[in-house]
Structures are given as C-alpha cells and as structure tokens.
A and B are shown apart, each in its own frame.
Chain A
Amino acid sequence: MIRQILSISVATWAAVTVGAQGPDALEPGQRRELYKKNRPVIEALVLQTVESSKTPSDHLKRADAYYPVLYQFSVEIQTANQAREANRVTELTGHLTVLLKDGLAPTLDKAKKQVEGGSGVERFPDVKKNLLAQIDALGKQLDPASPAGASLEAAKEKVDSITIPEKK
C-alpha cells in the first residue's frame, strides 16, 4: 500500500511539474506582443537618448530629455494600473527607478556642476521642477506602501537631493 501511495504521489508531482512549467525563452507570439505593448516606451527611450547624444556636454539639456521618457512611463503605468496588471506596473516601475537613480540623478548632478560654472543657471530650477512634477504624477498612481511605490519615492528623493545652485 505504501508503495502504491508513494508511486501515485511521485506521478502526481511529475504531472503537475511538467504541466505547469513554462518555456525558458520567449515564444514568438509573446515577443511580438511585448514589442507592441512596449513600443511607445522603447521609442521614447531610444529617440530621447539620441536627442541627448546630440549635446553630450550640455547636461542640463540631457537631463531635460528625460521628461518625455518619464511622461511615457507615466502613461504606461497608468494604463497598466487601470487594467489591473500588477506585474506590469512592477516591471515598469522597476525600470523607471533604474532610469531615475542611475540615469537622471547622475545627469542632473552633472547639470548642477555645469550651471554652478555659470551656464544655464536660470533653466536649472525649471528643468528640475518639471522632472519632479512628472515623478510626483507617477508616484500618485502607486501605493506608497508597495515595493514599487517605495522604490519610486526613494528614486525621487535622490533626484530631489540635487540642490538648486544659488544664482551667482
């Protein structure tokens, strides 16, 4: 009897495992659907990076080029929220956090140093204000207690900590 129960348990476990396992790589249909869905964000990312590359030494302009990207992320996160796609919200917020912490914050820091040198000091407050307003708009869509919300808040604080230089 024990042998039979053990056999049934092993067979059941194997059947559930085989039946439930997903493919390792993306299926062609998934790749197509993902590109369709993420195309606006991907286009914004690439095209704004090209814009930013046109002026590699104008860091304030490069920081400003993040605004359309943040806006597009905001639209996509809002759409995903409305569709109750929690996984997608988490995914997009994760990417956004990386962009803010590792992309925008260092760029804004360089911009700060740039304007401290005297160039574009008037524009800096406006650029930063607009970027923070966009991040705030994003933050309102997320539960601050959720991992995504907390992560975005931390990224915002990092951007906000880059202080506006005083006018010389």
Chain B
Amino acid sequence: MNCASARNRLLNSPDPGVVPDSVAGHVAGCPSCQAWHRLLVQVDQAVATAPVPVSAGRTKRRLVELFRTGRTPGESEHGIVTVPSTVVLPARTGLRDRVSRYWPIGLVAAALLVGAIAWITLGGKQDHAAVAQLPPDPFLKKVVAAKVRIDTADSAAERMRAWADLADDLREQARELSRMTPGEETESMESLAKLYEQAVGEDALVGQAQLLADDERAALLAKFAERLADAEQNAKRLLAEGVSPGSERPLKRIAKAAEASKNKLANLQRGRA
C-alpha cells in the first residue's frame, strides 16, 4: 500500500481518530503518514468545535434551488435578476466560448496558410520556373526602338543622338550584368562590349559625327565627347570598385572604346577629321 491509498482510506473513515486495520500497518511504518494522520485528527476536532452562524435556512434553499434549476431563487425565468445572488457559477467553456476566445489566432494561421499557398503557386517559383516565366525584356524593347529611330532619322545629328542613347543603354546593361554571379556573365559581357564598340565606332556614332556640318559640329561634338568621357569614367570606376573576373575585360573594352571615340570627336571638333 502506498501513502496516497492509505490517506484516502483515512479520509473515508467515519472517525478519523480510529485507524482502520487495513492501513494500520502502513501508518505504523510511515512517519509521513503518521504526521498527516495527526493533522487530520486536529482538523476534524477543530471543525466539530467551530461555532455555527445563525441561519434562517435561506442560504440552504438557494443552494438547493441552484442545483435543481441552475437559477437562484431571485432570478426569473426570463433571466431578470430581482435579488442579487451571492453564488458564483462556474464559467462555461463550451466550443462556442473557446472559438470566440481563440479566433484571432485562427485568423492569423489561416492568413499565413493562404499566403504561403499563394506565394508557392503564384509568386514564389524559383530557378527553372522563374526562367520559364520570364517577363518581357525592356532592354530588347529599347534596342528595337533605337533601330527604328536610327533607320528613320532624317539627319546625321539625329542619328548621332540615337546612337549615343543606344550606346548608353548598352553600357548600362553591361553595368547591371557585371554584378552577376562570376562565371555566368562572361559571354554576355563580351557581347555587350562588342556592341558598344560598334555603337560608338566609325560606322555609327563617330561616322555620323563626320557627316555633321561645321556649325553642327561646334554645337554638338563637345556634348557627345562629354557623354563618352562619362562613359569611360563610369566603366573605370566599376573596375576600380571590383567586378567579377569575367566582367573585367569587357568593361576595359568599353572604357577604351569610349575613350577612343571621345578623342575622335575632340579631333573633329578641332577640325582634324
């Protein structure tokens, strides 16, 4: 027999002062249960000697009524309380109560679940899926527009402006791609460097500059030479900041092409075509 069993039997005994035979052996050998039994006897005696307050029996009736109907005698069937009740009813914890208490947590969980599903199915696909669903290419659009602009230009000055804009777009694209993962951008960077060299070269930007009239040269060449100087400096700055190994050579080609064309425009400006 363990202590809990022994104590339960002592509590059920009509006279706590008398130890039943069935637990006597345990209590005799257990100092803890002996102390507990002594305390039990003292409490029993104290309860027996405690004064009982005078009562008209109303509290007893209320308690009985409460157990029978769930309402205190002063409460009507319509729930209107006419006499304040001193009885505290236990809180009801039905399903509805629990739902009303915890719905914010459920709301957050539902939102997270729906968000995760939406992200996975609509916006969160990686790698192959992202590549397969590539958006329209804004750079291609710019190149198409540049071709149309150059082909339909009516003057050398207009074509020169269009070439300069296209060269800037090519350089900007190279700048963006130079930030890519090393090793993956080399071919693209070399391609862009080649196109940049062509765009600012003898058959494009510089070629159109040579077709300008004298007054146009005076008005335009310094401005375009300045743009080329900026392009050269930007490429050199990128190189100084450090780029991936595959981007170094193409950026140097861009800087060199910009510098060469800038010098050619400067010579044209000075009348040494």
Binding site for B on A (CB under 8 A): 4, 7-8, 11-12, 14-16, 18-22, 26-39, 41-43, 45-54, 56, 62, 69, 85, 87-88, 91, 95, 98-99, 102-103, 106-107
- Determine the chain B residues whose CB is within 8 A of the CB of A28 once the complex forms: 176, 179-180
* A7 & B107 in contact (Cβ 8 Å cutoff): yes
- In the complex with contacts A91-B136, A99-B148, A20-B123 CB distance below 8 A: yes
Looking at the assembled complex, report how far the CB atom of B177 sits from the nearest CB atom of chain A, in whole angstroms. 6
Please indicate the chain A residues that have their CB under 8 angstroms from the CB of B137 in the complex.
34-35, 37-38, 91
- Write 26 A-B pairs (CB below 8 A) sorted by A numbering: A4-B107, A11-B111, A12-B110, A14-B111, A15-B115, A19-B115, A26-B138, A30-B135, A31-B173, A31-B176, A34-B134, A34-B137, A38-B139, A39-B191, A43-B194, A46-B143, A48-B147, A49-B150, A53-B207, A54-B207, A85-B132, A95-B141, A98-B144, A103-B147, A103-B151, A106-B151
Residues of B within 8 A of A45 (CB): 143-144, 147
Contacts of A33 in B (CB 8 A): 131, 134
Contact A50-B198, Cβ < 8 Å, known A15-B114, A16-B114: yes
Residue in A11, A26, A36, A106 whose CB lies within 8 Å of B188 = A36
Residues of B within 8 A of A (CB): 103, 107-108, 110-112, 114-119, 122-124, 130-141, 143-148, 150-152, 156, 159, 163, 166, 170, 173, 176-177, 179-180, 184-185, 187-188, 191-192, 194-195, 198-199, 201, 203-204, 207-208, 211
Tell me what chain B mostly uses at the interface: helix, strand, loop, or mixed: helix
Complex CA distance for A48 and B143, rounded to whole angstroms:
12
- CB of A42 within 8 A of CB of B195, answer yes
Decide: B177 and A32 in contact? CB cutoff 8 A.
yes
Q: Is the CB of B180 within 8 A of A107?
A: no
Q: Which residues of B contact A12 (CB under 8 A)?
A: 110-111, 114
CA distance A26 to B176 in the complex (A): 11
Q: Is B177's CB under 8 angstroms from A31's CB?
A: yes
Query: How distant is B129 from chain A, measured CB to nearest CB, in Å?
Result: 12
**Contact at A49–B146, with CB atoms within 8 Å?**
yes
